[in-house]
Amino acid sequence: MLANLPNLQEIENAARVVYREFQATPQYRWGLSSQRLGTDCWIKHENHTPVGAFKIRGGLTYFDALEKSGALPREVISATRGNHGQSIGWAARAHGVACSIVVPRGNSLEKNAAMRALGVTLIEHGEDFQESREFAMKRATERGAHMVPSFHADLLSGVATYWWEFMQAVPQLDVVYVPIGQGSGACAAIAAKLALKRTLRIVGVVSAHATTYADSLAAGHVVEALVTTQLADGMACRIADQTALDILLPHIAHIVKVTDDEVAQAMRDLYADTHNVAEGAGAASFAAAMQERDQLRGLVVGTTLCGGNVDSATLARVLDAA
């Protein structure tokens, strides 16, 4: 199981790959957010990467591994709700590789536009991420293209660099809240914790309207769950990844479920406190901390604004509902 997790040397090597494109993102102890939470609250700003989300780190290390192994393909295909697709599109463009991304119908217009701007051929298929993923796998087989998964060790090493940055910059962290979509963010936090030999608690966060990881962790095996979230598309997964689940099971302290209403409130809070824009999944970490704030007194809390790619109309609607 732990063989799937990058060690300290591998994370440091991954950081060198990531830093060819951009430098470490900031983390701040925001006064208003700390006041709101009732304790020291640090926010890691992965919304400040070149694609507005943490996923780009994994795309860079995935393609670097392909190149080093001499297996760089002529074409890649993947599926996404947006941020993973931007990551793969960015890295594919940098390596001169053709890239097609499958998204579900009704996907974020602005995430779709961002992927097209990176040279991605966008394909709309399916009613949810799982249907898009299955179609992408079938299409990759038919075309002889390389299917980039949503969860893989070479993605994980890149994603782990952001938690490695955070834990080194704020060594006094007692607990961190990590949103779970397909699991790379949470598994990367575990990898960084183990690599740096830290004792902080890692709390997983899922949408209350997309509970496959909560249900699967409780059962000890993959449990499919209906997805009905209208706001946290980055966590809108119907079927958990077994490899991710195996890593999470012994290391996640517990799971917090956040509703769309709680996520919307966190988006408003983060905008008011930091004037940073958070997409639904990007606000979920702070939403979970706020849900548990009575248990956090006196602790140093780490949250992650892991993505800021929300459609303008959605953001306006959320902010207007205050």
- Calpha distance 288→286 (Å, rounded): 5
What digits encode the pLDDT tens for the residues 10-63? Answer: 999 999 999 999 999 999 999 999 999 999 999 999 999 999 999 999 999 999
Please report the pLDDT score of residue 49 as a whole number: 98
Residue that the structure tokens 């290391």 belong to: 251
- What are the C-alpha distances in Å from 47 to residues 34, 102, 124, 162, 315? 19, 23, 25, 12, 15
Q: Are strands 75-79 and 98-103 parallel, antiparallel or unpaired?
A: parallel
Residue that the structure tokens 């440091």 belong to: 12
SS (H, E, C) the chain: CHHHCCCHHHHHHHHHHHCCCCCCCCEEECHHHHHHHCCCEEEEEHHHCCCCECCHHHHHHHHHHHHHCCCCCCEEEEECCCHHHHHHHHHHHHCCCEEEEEECCCCCHHHHHHHHHCCCEEEECCCCHHHHHHHHHHHHHHHCCEECCCCCHHHHHHHHHHHHHHHHHCCCCCEEEEECCCCHHHHHHHHHHHHCCCCCEEEEEEECCECHHHHHHHHCCCCCCCECCCCCHHHCCCCCCHHHHHHHCCCCCCEEEECHHHHHHHHHHHHHHHCCCCCHHHHHHHHHHHHCHHHCCCCCEEEEECECCCCHHHHHHHHHCC
Residue 176: both structure tokens together: 């961190």
Inter-residue contact 288 to 208 (CB < 8 Å): no
Contacts with 113 (C-beta within 8 Å, 6 or more apart), sequence order? none
- Calpha distance 183→155 (Å, rounded): 11
Please compute, for residue 119, the number of CA atoms within 13 A of its CA located in the half-sphere on the CB side: 15
Contacts with 320 (C-beta within 8 Å, 6 or more apart), sequence order? none
Which ranges in the chain are annotated with CATH 3.40.50.1100? Answer: 2-53+153-320, 56-147
Q: Does domain 2-53+153-320 fall into CATH 3.40.50.2000?
A: no
Q: Does domain 56-147 fall into CATH 3.40.50.2300?
A: no
Calculate ∠ Cα 114-232-251, nearest 5°. Answer: 110
Q: For every one of its 322 residues, what pLDDT tens digit does the chain have, with 9 covering 90 and above?
A: 345 799 999 999 999 999 999 999 999 999 999 999 999 999 999 999 999 999 999 999 999 999 999 999 999 999 998 899 999 999 999 999 999 999 999 999 999 999 999 999 999 999 998 999 999 999 999 999 999 998 999 999 999 999 999 999 999 999 999 999 999 999 999 999 999 999 999 999 999 999 999 999 999 999 999 999 999 999 999 999 999 999 999 999 999 999 999 999 999 999 999 999 999 999 999 999 999 999 999 999 999 999 999 999 999 999 998 7
- What are the C-alpha distances in Å from 159 to residues 10, 88, 116, 185, 239? 12, 13, 23, 6, 21
Please report the pLDDT score of residue 82 as a whole number: 83
What digits encode the pLDDT tens for the residues 203-219? Answer: 999 999 999 999 999 99
- What are the C-alpha distances in Å from 261 to residues 176, 214, 242, 264? 22, 19, 29, 5
